[in-house]
């Protein structure tokens, strides 16, 4: 089965749950190299998103994602709002009018969302940002698509690639954002944005594991 509208809604709810559960962890990561507010910001943003779920539960997937993006932009402080807002707005544009998504559709979504984040944040692979988790996740999806991998397996491979990318930020010296002010001292710390990106993609893999 493809990813249905109900699955998309359940993913957003799962994102809200996992970000709430990891609020303190993300804040702890951000305290080391940022403003110590990433966990609180993401939790607040997705709580606002979850409050809007009843209003959009009967809409198409594109409208759901667009609403998520607009809500995050208006409620999440720091860089997270514009970046994750852009992520979901781009996702909404690629899924406009759709009531279900195939693996190919999801690759298109992630590719567009990543491009939007790169354009908005002016970050590249290796800058110690969420791009370092999203890029390998996107690339893993592309490989899975080319290998005709099942949807659940492809999503798991994508999430695993995001985890490896997230952990790969630990030795990096930040070149973007608040962490870049620390210079060499930013090395040795896991990037909070890459971590929240991994959590969101892992939530998709876990939520959609029954789709075949």
Give the model confidence (pLDDT) of 15-25 as tens digits: 999 999 999 99
Tell me the C-alpha distance between 144 and 190, whole Å: 27
Is the confidence at residue 181, as pLDDT, over 80? no
**Residues above pLDDT 90, as percent of the chain:** 79
Helix/strand/coil for 3: strand
Domain boundaries, the chain: 3-207
CATH classification number, 3-207, choose in 3.40.30.10, 1.25.40.340, 3.10.20.30, 1.10.10.10: 1.25.40.340
Helix axis angle, 80-94 to 103-121, nearest 10°: 140
Closest CA to 103 of 162, 157, 59: 157
Is the confidence at residue 185, as pLDDT, over 90? no
- Where helices occur in 147-177 by DSSP H, the ranges are 151-167
Predicted TM-score (pTM) of the model is 0.95
Give me 169's structure tokens. Answer: 């930020």
* Residue 180 pLDDT level (bands cut at 50, 70, 90): low
Give the model confidence (pLDDT) of 95-153 as tens digits: 999 999 999 999 999 999 999 999 998 989 988 999 999 999 999 999 999 999 999 99
* Residue 178 pLDDT level (bands cut at 50, 70, 90): low
122: left (phi over 0), alpha (psi -120 to 50) or beta: left
């Amino acid at each position: 089965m493809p990813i249905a509208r109900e699955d998309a809604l359940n993913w957003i709810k799962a994102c809200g749950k996992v970000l709430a559960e990891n609020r303190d962890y993300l804040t702890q990561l951000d305290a080391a190299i940022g403003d110590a507010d990433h966990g609180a910001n993401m939790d607040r943003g997705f709580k606002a998103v979850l409050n809007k779920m009843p209003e959009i539960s009967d809409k198409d997937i594109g409208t759901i994602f667009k609403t998520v993006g607009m809500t995050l932009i208006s409620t999440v402080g720091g860089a997270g709002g514009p970046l994750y807002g852009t992520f979901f707005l781009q996702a909404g544009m690629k899924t406009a009018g759709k009531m279900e998504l195939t693996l190919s559709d999801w690759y298109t979504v992630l590719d567009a969302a990543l491009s939007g984040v790169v354009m908005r944040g002016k970050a590249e692979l290796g800058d110690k940002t969420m791009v370092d988790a999203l890029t390998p996740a996107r690339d893993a999806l592309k490989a899975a698509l080319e290998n005709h991998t099942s949807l659940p397996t492809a999503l798991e491979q994508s999430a695993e690639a995001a985890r490896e990318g997230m952990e790969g930020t630990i030795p990096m010296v930040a070149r973007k954002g608040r962490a870049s002010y620390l210079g060499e001292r930013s090395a040795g710390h896991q990037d909070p944005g890459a971590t929240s990106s991994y959590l969101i993609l892992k939530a998709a893999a876990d939520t959609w594991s029954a789709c075949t």
